[in-house]
Chain A
Amino acid sequence: MRSTSARSASACSVSGRSVSGAARRGRQHLCLIATTAMLLLLATGRLHAQGDRHDISGRVIDRQSDEPLPYAAVVLRGSAHGGLTNADGYFVIVNAPAELCTLEVSTIGYATILVPVDNQRASSDPLEIGLQVEAVYMGETEVTAEKAYEVWKPGAEVSQITFSPRQLEALPALGEADIFRSLQLLPGISGVGDGSAGLYVRGGTPDQNLVIYDGMTVYHVDHFYGIFSAFNSEAVKDIQVYKGGYPAKFGGRLSSVLELTGKSGHGKRLQLSGGANLLSAHMMLETPVWDTGSFVFAFRRSYTDIIQSGLYNDLFDLSQKEESAPTPQAPAAPQAGQFRRRGFGGRFGQEVSPVFYFYDLNSKLTLSPSARDFVAFSLYSGRDNQSESNELGGLNFRRLDSAANATGTRTNETATDWGNLGGGLKWGRRWHSRLYTNLLLSSSLYSSDYFRSRGFAGTGAQANSTQANSPFQRRSVYEEDNEVQDVSLRLDTEWSVHADHQVDLGIKVADIRTDYAGTFGDSLQTLDLHTQAREVSVYVQDQWSALKALEMTVGLRVTHHNQTDALYHAPRFSLGYHLTDRLTLKGAWGRYHQFINNISSEDVLRGNTDFWLVADDEFEPGRAEHRILGIGYETSVYLVEVEGYDKDLDGLTEFSRRQGRPGEADLLGSFFFGEGRARGVEFLLQKKSGSLNGWLSYTLGEVEHTFAGLNDGDPFPADHDRRHEVNAVSSYRLGRWTAAATWVFASGRAYTAPESVYSVELVDGEVASFVHVGAKNTSRLPDYHRLDLSLTRQFSTPTLNWSAGLSLFNAYANTNVQSREYDLEIDPVVVTDVTTLGFTPSVFIKARIK
């Protein structure tokens, strides 16, 4: 039966591309059904429990709040039996020996406990296992088993990581513990710079990450120029990260999955907590509801548009003096959190004064109407608003297409407003100790409005004018509006068929609509695209313990996309083979599709932007194939891992007016389609626990894109290509004090630069002058490196647990360049380095009423 199944899966995995023709489609349907049947047969081969074995099932919860704990490890001591709790905290150990057993239950941030279980008689009553939050600094430590992992740990699947938001406070932060910025410290996950909280996972781009918050897909994860992610770490309970090779239950993205589970709130008593730092404040309310549920409401907002903290400005100004940029014009005092900009070549510098704010709120109502049912309604909303303007006087305007010149003032204005709004209604039911279903209806709306205006006003010669000192004015406007509306219904079933098999089945129906409208400069070119698509996906996967030392996950996901009227098959396979108790070989292979494209819009002068478009006949879905192989050596205290990845990407889209067809009104000729390849190897040394813990990682990577219409069809480095990345994270705990340091290094990223001017005499004698732009992405920004330090102290009073800390961001004030901007209409040319924050101290305080 096993070999038959293998052959069937192989036949189905011939192609992940779209197919055409009824015959081929029919064959694929048959193939899908056959594979499903094979997997189910395989799974049910030894379905019935043996006479001397019984299932052990139950739920793992937080002992204080009764909150379910997802993805906690529950292991039968002295055997290989065990697994993880599901997203709602339920677990089952199938066919456990009918004897007195001991369960070892652990998860990050909680003390591991040993639970004796009398399994001599079958029982249908689920266990309820409560874990205690580690309170080492309170002197209340209750370690009942070996403790492991402080901040994150490898998950059950290859390239999977379980991350604990609770532990983020231990790491240095820019005022506020941040989930995504902390994830950027993991091997293979890059942030490319301070200007993005988006994650570049193993050569993928942020849009290629499936970010799910309580089942809702989130399309944009930045706050505050990317300094923070869109998620309030106080409101998040668990984070699962799949860096690649992820299983069939996830789909719709090419690179990775980030699954965030929101807190469900304290189920025993009213809890109020809050905190503040120099940029923002947050509060959270948790309360039990009707004895069977809980409610949580969390809100966070920056107050940089209302209050400019004096201490912050003082410290910021102090750091400014350490800069040595040539700035003949007196710079205005920068405001909190802004990027500083520096001119080059001794011409002049410019300072910008942005005004911005952000907020987000998370709310969740959780009810358990019966012992088997679990209902949750989640709401998430986040918004950013930013406007920026500056004026630079005494400049010379130049036109390449005429001899006209003018002197005057350059004015730049930018306004951006973006945000997410999402809601999800989930019903989980435990039909049986081995069968659990989740039905989720979710809606997610992302919208972004961007406006930019550049003007020049002065006196001089207009083109084709003989008057030397006439008023001269020029203004160009650039606007982009983008919206994504995603409504999804999904049903997921977890079926623990046998001790060696857990089968997951599911179906998802999603309606996704995108609207994009762009107006570009004074060229009267507009782009107006509206698309709606429905995708229907089904999946089946089996987590199979084939041998005592071999675990495999085999799965298949099939999606029908109505815009292309095609079926997309995505077979997945992963394995873990325990060579010894400490040495594990891991691998994965899989095909992936993405039905909504995040299109990179090239802007050589001001940095690229991007926008979302649903795939259709013209914008084909993206495709990827992952190949991952790794080996890990783990002791009770240390983990050493080496993992290599090779990822092929296809269906990549770039929008470039620079390389498009001139004079084209609808701009459809400015879209380019290509493929890519990302490969690399990650090295990790982690000290998992103890007073001194942390990790050191190095990633050697390469991301190359090839577009037929760009760069003469030659491969070029992707925007986010970085050859070397090093992360060093260390935390030392002494009593109530925790000191931590992180140091990151990354090779400079690639960008495209205007390089020179040249002239060509036309056949009619006119001379045409052009700015020449260098080959695509052949220039490199300087290497990025930064040291952050933090010191935190925990306090406890009879009514309050609170903590306070100091964080030093960019402690040695390295000038890191986020992007490079050019103003070629000014003579001499202005080049501005958008630098990220220099030395930035920050203090914070957090408190929770007991």
Chain B
Amino acid sequence: MAYLRMRGITKLYPENNVLANADVDFEVRRNEIHALVGENGAGKTTLMKILYGLERADRGYIELEDRPVHISSPLAANRLGIGMVHQHFRLIPEFSIAENVVLGIEPRRRGLFLDREGAVSRVRAVIQEYGFSIDPTLRVRELTVGQMQLVEILKILYRRVQLLILDEPTSVLTEQQIHRLFQTLRHLRKIGKTVIIITHKLGEVKDISQRVTVMRGGRVVAVRETAQVDERELSRLMVGKSVSLQVRREPAARGRPVLELEGVSLLARGQDHPLLDGVDLCVHAGEIVGVAGVSGNGLAELEDVASGLRRVSSGRILLGGRDITRLAVRELRQRGLAYVPADRLHRGSSLASSVMENMIIASHHRFLRGGVFRRREVEGFADELAANFSIEGDPRVPIGTLSGGNIQKVILARELASRTDFILFSEPTWGLDVASSEFIYERLMEIRRQGLAILLLSSNLDEIMSLADTLVVMYRGRVVACLANSAEVTKELIGEYMLGLREDRS
């Protein structure tokens, strides 16, 4: 019955000790469009990478048409009739569509010379066979994203693939392009192909798939006929039951507004919908504003804009009532911006530099006399921070040798060391162990008591819901909800906002 069967797939990433797939069973029937859904980090992409030979499973096996298969590389997958369209396109921009499609299996004349006309005519034949309409001589560089995706699909169809895997194919497309893609997929199904589509947009699941597999935390939590499940249930399955974190939260002593965003928009070249779309946001002194959202909906862009690393396209940002929209990062720093970035290894620290150097990087001017560091003062400062934040080890070792939790403590210590009234946190506990996470949470509550305004961006719903005083949800670059955190606000409700099932019009 099953066309593809994956059994007991287990994959551990030893670098960060993440169990991406834990004993996953996954089945696809012949000639269906099967949706694979789950939050970020649920293990969907890992599972598909294993199927496509890009990753090796630690345990488990794969059967295709009831025969066990060993898929060691994408080429082996191609030979078995499996093709994948990656979330980020793998195209050669300088080549024409035809050249990209035939790359690796080019038609040749006399075994040596490239048969360009042959390539174009063969690709044209494939385009006609599947009823597309695009000129194969166009250069990929000149295409729209929708067309590039079509080229990726053509690449796998040209290789006579039976099973197509699409990894979040709609994340870069406009509504019309999504509509056309879905028409294409339905057509492919009609002519006998099987499709696996990874997504976290539930409307699309209902729209396109016959069956759906839901993953959470590296496990399969449900397999359903799409017709027999509604979006609310899917959303519940995806986010799971609430696990309340043990954080003691006193009522907020909300003070004056500190950070205000007024109608902030961010446009990017090559994107036809804005990355941030008229975002209004206000963080008061002594308040934690938690922003939730599925990745790709504007959280990362909000981080960049609020930290001054990216200029807004329109709108204003005020800090303490003064316009800081056009200020350079250095000036923002002088006005008391503190920032704990999501990417703590590359943006938050200089891995080869010592813990001490990382501690003084934002405030090193204070330790200079005549352009030379006063070594003793720097060491005193580093020792003091290490003691206050219980950072283990010698401050003279490179920060890259520390554990993730200790690196985060160093960054936090540094950011809080300078006088500040606003701090931006992005994914503060991502990938950290429980003890480190709790330490970070305690500090967060402590600085909230001290009256700092805190903007917390996190894809971890439990974290947001147990820490934030005000909950903000972003979807497609817009603020779709801004709620005071209370017992009535449930994880399910926030999940519905995050997945675009619900929206407060303001």
Our verdict on whether A and B bind, yes or no, reads no
Interface residues of A (CB under 8 A from B): none
> What residues of chain B have their CB less than 8 Å away from a CB belonging to chain A?
none
